[in-house]
Structure 1
Amino acid sequence: MISPEHPPVPSRRSWLLVAALLGPGLAGATPPPGVPGEVLARTAAQAPASDTEPRAPTREELARYTWLSKDARIRPLEAAVPPPEGYTRVGVEAGTFAAWLRGLPLRAPGTPVLHFKGGQVLPADDARLAAVAELDIGTANLQQCADSVIRLHAEWLWAANQKERIAYRFTSGHLASWTKYASGERARISGSKVTWVKSAAADSSRGAFRAYLDLVFMYAGTLSLEGAKGRPTKDDVRPGDFFVLGGSPGHAVLVLDVAADAGGRRVALLGQGFMPAQDFHILSGGGDTGPWFPLETDAVATPFWKPFPWTSLRRFP
């Protein structure tokens, strides 16, 4: 088990106080001292009161985020994490991975990050932590950083009924497709050689899909993602892209959302899984833009890894 050294925890930031104040029923409220009225107005418009507090998932959300339990208590990402003052979320097309990520269900405020055995990795008040996703990890040490990126992309394709597009490469370069796995074929691995053999009954159930993902998690990683052909530029970054530095260990973070101000300056929400396998969580940038990370720099610095150069930005096909 690899446990990279964590950097010192920075002090708590004033944006947390503002976030605490931006609760339901703010439309028309008098802003507290030091909180601009336009912050309240914008937040009230972007995040309906019913979505700022944990609630049961809607029928639509259960269909879009198919791992959810009807008993879960969630907050959609877009409502729970408003953009910084003066920024507006960039436009995204309906039905895309980017739009799907904006509704990603989050757990209640004050939730810590737990690893796959149930132990705490990050306390709820860690200044580097903005929120925790309502997403299962599994019971093995598999769903780490690259795996979490793959998991979310695969879940979107599954919910969007684009199952024929679910396919990811092992570190060896061999392609593992869901359609092949669902037909009953299984990977037979010998060293760096991978062959697919018909050895199971056809099964396209949700349970089989999770078993397929665990197989991908076992044999894929940051080196797999680093080989992705989509290479967006700094000026073209959008939700659903990811930064990846391949290695053993390497690391990957997912761009969950992007916002821009009137001058064209952009910020992003970034999320990650990590080692050991643990809850997928939204990182906090620790600056004036709260949990949002500035994108006008030569490299994007995150709290748990060395800075990601723009040449490390990738996009799924």
Structure 2
Amino acid sequence: MKSRNSQLKTFPGSPNRFYHFSIGLLLIVLTFFLQNLYADSIIERFPPPDGFQRVSFPNDSFATYLQNFPLKPQGSSVLLYDGRTKTNQVYAAVLDFPLLREDLIQCADAVMKLRAEYFYSLKEYDKIQFKISNGMDVGFSRFAKGERVQVKGNKTNWKTGKFKKGTGRDVFDEYLRFIYSYAGTISLKSELKKKQINELKPGDVWIEAGSPGHVVLIVDQVTGKDGQTLFLLAQSYMPSQEMHILKSENKYSPWFAIPKNQTFQTPEWEFPAKEIYGFVK
């Protein structure tokens, strides 16, 4: 009768392969751990300057979502959609903001993506809705029901068919890709409300509609004892690139101060100072 051990099959070299597999797995885990160890959020990376205090907002607000948005590890470069590095060093940090391998997610698209991701994180799918360039309202809830938009020239209409349904990430990403393709600064501005400059808060934008146009997003805010307001700005740009926190030219950089002139200069765009807008809902 054979002993139990003698019946076990052995494979030459298998302990070696298992050893290398274990080491490889350990390295992957350590890399992931270290990346997250040195990753932080906007509020963690950028404390208020001396004499200022961060403005707090409700926990489930878009403002708080932006303040707590994760950043790539310190020292990261802004990458373009094709993997190249942004040459204009106008940024203080890079948002952990995955891109497509296509030149699709530019300035307005990045703002809409963050707004959509915010509602998606809350599972408030019916609030994910944007206008496209011809004025049509396109809501994610209709994509979730299996509908899609048919585009012929400047005319669009809803159509049904054997399309994927549900609120899963694949359908959501398909919806976002459609928005990136057919929306921009002109359509985005048309659904925003004008705000007074003393009303600004994270989630508001400076926007100039056009082809090209540009938009920058307020992502954090602090106030001083004298009532002075400072804020952080984030942008994507052309060509498609990771969203990043912009540097300012004042002593509080990267914090910006309320513009006192007719124009508001950011590193890559000059806006009319009063062209500040916010989302309606």
TM over 0.5: yes
Does 2:143 align with 1:181?
yes
Residue 255 of structure 1 is matched in structure 2 by 218
Give the letter for the 2:149 counterpart. Answer: A
Deviates more, 1:226-235 or 1:187-196: 226-235
- Partner of 2:226, secondary structure, is coil
Does 2:63 align with 1:101?
no
In 2, distance between residues paired with 1:138 and 1:71?
A: 22
Identity of aligned residues (%): 29
The within-5 A match list for 1:230-249 is 230-249=193-212
The within-5 A match list for 1:33-44 is none
- What do residues 179-225 of structure 1 show as CA deviations (whole Å, max 9, x unaligned)? 01111111111122110101213232111101110100100000011
Does 2:80 align with 1:115?
yes
Aligned partner (choices 85, 91, 96) of residue 56 of structure 2: 91
Aligned partner (choices 126, 130, 140) of residue 168 of structure 1: 130
Question: Are residues 182 and 131 of structure 1, via their aligned partners in 2, closer, same or farther at CA, if it must alter by over 3 Å?
Answer: same
Q: Tell me if structure 1 keeps the 8 A contact 2:194–2:277.
A: yes
Deviates more, 1:106-115 or 1:225-234: 225-234
In 1, distance between residues paired with 2:223 and 2:146?
A: 46
In 2, distance between residues paired with 1:73 and 1:172?
A: 44
Give the letter for the 1:99 counterpart. Answer: T
Give the letter for the 1:187 counterpart. Answer: V
Aligned residues: 249
Does 2:43 align with 1:78?
yes
Q: Tell me if structure 1 keeps the 8 A contact 2:66–2:203.
A: yes
Q: CA deviation at 1:71?
A: 6.8
- Partner of 1:247, secondary structure, is coil
Residue 314 of structure 1 is matched in structure 2 by 278
Q: CA deviation at 1:74?
A: 2.1
In 2, distance between residues paired with 1:297 and 1:55?
A: 45
Q: Tell me if structure 2 keeps the 8 A contact 1:102–1:256.
A: yes
The within-5 A match list for 1:85-234 is 85-122=50-87, 126=89, 128-199=90-161, 200-234=163-197
Q: Which has the larger radius of gyration?
A: 2
Question: Are residues 117 and 72 of structure 1, via their aligned partners in 2, closer, same or farther at CA, if it must alter by over 3 Å?
Answer: farther
In 2, distance between residues paired with 1:129 and 1:201?
A: 39
Runs of 4 or more, structure 1, over 4 Å off, are: 54-57, 70-73
Q: Tell me if structure 2 keeps the 8 A contact 1:226–1:312.
A: no
* CA RMSD, Structure 1 to Structure 2 (Å): 2.0
Q: Structure 1 unaligned segments of length 5 or more: list them.
A: 1-53, 58-69
Give the letter for the 2:73 counterpart. Answer: A
Residue 293 of structure 1 is matched in structure 2 by 256
Question: Are residues 73 and 175 of structure 1, via their aligned partners in 2, closer, same or farther at CA, if it must alter by over 3 Å?
Answer: farther
Give the letter for the 2:273 counterpart. Answer: P
In 2, distance between residues paired with 1:262 and 1:56?
A: 40
Question: Are residues 161 and 171 of structure 1, via their aligned partners in 2, closer, same or farther at CA, if it must alter by over 3 Å?
Answer: same
Give the letter for the 1:82 counterpart. Answer: P
Residue 21 of structure 2 is matched in structure 1 by none
The within-5 A match list for 1:6-45 is none
In 2, distance between residues paired with 1:130 and 1:271?
A: 10
In 2, distance between residues paired with 1:86 and 1:72?
A: 29
Q: CA deviation at 1:139?
A: 1.3
- What do residues 21-59 of structure 1 show as CA deviations (whole Å, max 9, x unaligned)? xxxxxxxxxxxxxxxxxxxxxxxxxxxxxxxxx9859xx
Question: Are residues 163 and 72 of structure 1, via their aligned partners in 2, closer, same or farther at CA, if it must alter by over 3 Å?
Answer: farther
In 2, distance between residues paired with 1:87 and 1:286?
A: 18
Q: Structure 2 unaligned segments of length 5 or more: list them.
A: 1-30
Aligned partner (choices 268, 271, 295) of residue 231 of structure 2: 268
Q: Tell me if structure 2 keeps the 8 A contact 1:55–1:75.
A: no
Question: Are residues 71 and 173 of structure 1, via their aligned partners in 2, closer, same or farther at CA, if it must alter by over 3 Å?
Answer: same
Q: CA deviation at 1:291?
A: 0.1
Give the letter for the 2:104 counterpart. Answer: L
In 2, distance between residues paired with 1:56 and 1:99?
A: 25
